[in-house]
Amino acid sequence: MKRAGIITFHCVYNVGAALQTFALYHTLESLSEAVVVDYYPWYHRVANHIFRNPFNALRTHGINKKGIREFFYLSCMDCRFLQKRRSVKKYQKFLDENIKRTRRFYSYEELKEGKPVLDVWFAGSDQIWNKDLTGKSLDDAYLLKFVDGAAKKISYAASVGREMEQEELYTLAESVKGLDRISVREQSLADRLSSLVQKPIETVLDPTFLLEKSEWMRFIERDGKDRQKYILVYALEKNKRLNQYAKWLAKQSASKVMDISPIDTGISGRVKKKSFVDPVSFLNAIYHADYIVTNSFHGTAFSLIFEKDFLTFAHSARGERMRSLLRELELDENLAECDAKIPFEIRHIAYRQVNLRLQKMRQRSLDFIERAFEKGW
């Protein structure tokens, strides 16, 4: 059996990152002896630091309403250290129980020197080519430049997550030419890169869609308890329109609002706030919700996987991957653009047709992965 490795954002405390890693690993495990490279560079260590200095908010925003609010929010977060530490332990438990990893590498140099010997390497998924998340420059590790010999080098659903300046695009195009096969998550990125790279570029699904709903159900608690109705909010940036829509929905359906966002969304009223959710808690929150309001890609993804009604508000900086996905599924009406009016209506989804489209997309993505193990491809 061939040996396959994955390098991605597996170790950041972000539910989407953990779940997409699990999904790709689980898919490859059925085809090979798979392992996730435990790459933990300085910028991930900084992002994961449990304590965040509240005074940084004042340095960034100044002594104004926004700066003072962020200062008090970070101060409260640090006061809830024990709660956050419990969540971090659950993240670690999820990874330990579900994903086989290599020894830890703290730098590119360590990885280049001590990398395992594998037959096929996959870089992705997630925003591994977003330099805003990798220390303000592309990280060669996520371009598989440390791989030598005859091993295949493949990107799977790699993402930038935002619009790129032309100079950035040229830099990325030169960097990916060393890959044997290239696949990305957004059609817009594929279109722009294809004119610069003399190789075919395929668009594939985020790894979370490689697994069907039945495979995710292993993590769902179905204890038969009477559960209260709730509208779920999962946001990665503040959005007043998103908050207004969620509160309107709750009023229309006589439900409460549950906010599991990792940020201070500013939503007020009858709201149950859970600041630190681990991957399993996140899946359960989506599955048991009556309606989801989100500006997160993976909030959208798991709403689709669990066949939930939802409305996605496009993220101001990273909205393209949501647009690309919902456009291909013909669910444009379930996306609210940044400058559009709030759609004060409940939008239900006919999932029979959506699932048929999604199944075709899933098979195309699985075919891409399976071909990686074929000789001569």
What is the identity of the amino acid at 115?
K
The answer to whether domain 3-47+86-211+360-371 and domain 221-346 are alike in fold is yes
Query: Rounded distance, CA 285 to CA 277, Å?
Result: 9
Q: For 41-64, what is each residue's pLDDT tens digit?
A: 999 998 887 556 666 666 667 788
Q: Quick one: pLDDT band at residue 70, thresholds 50, 70, 90?
A: confident
Q: For 97-131, what is each residue's pLDDT tens digit?
A: 999 999 999 999 999 999 999 999 999 999 999 99
Match 């790709």 to its residue by tokens.
24
Query: Rounded distance, CA 343 to CA 336, Å?
Result: 8
Query: Rounded distance, CA 275 to CA 33, Å?
Result: 36
Q: Where in the chain are the domains? A: 3-47+86-211+360-371, 221-346
Query: Rounded distance, CA 168 to CA 189, Å?
Result: 12
Q: What is the mean pLDDT of residues 316-328?
A: 86
Number of alpha helices (DSSP H) and beta strands (DSSP E) in the chain: 14, 13
Query: Rounded distance, CA 178 to CA 112, Å?
Result: 16
**Which architecture characterizes domain 3-47+86-211+360-371 according to CATH?**
3-Layer(aba) Sandwich (3.40)
Nearest to 241 by CA among 335, 125, 147: 335
Q: Which fold has domain 221-346?
A: Rossmann fold (3.40.50)
Q: For 340-373, what is each residue's pLDDT tens digit?
A: 788 788 889 999 999 999 999 999 999 999 999 9
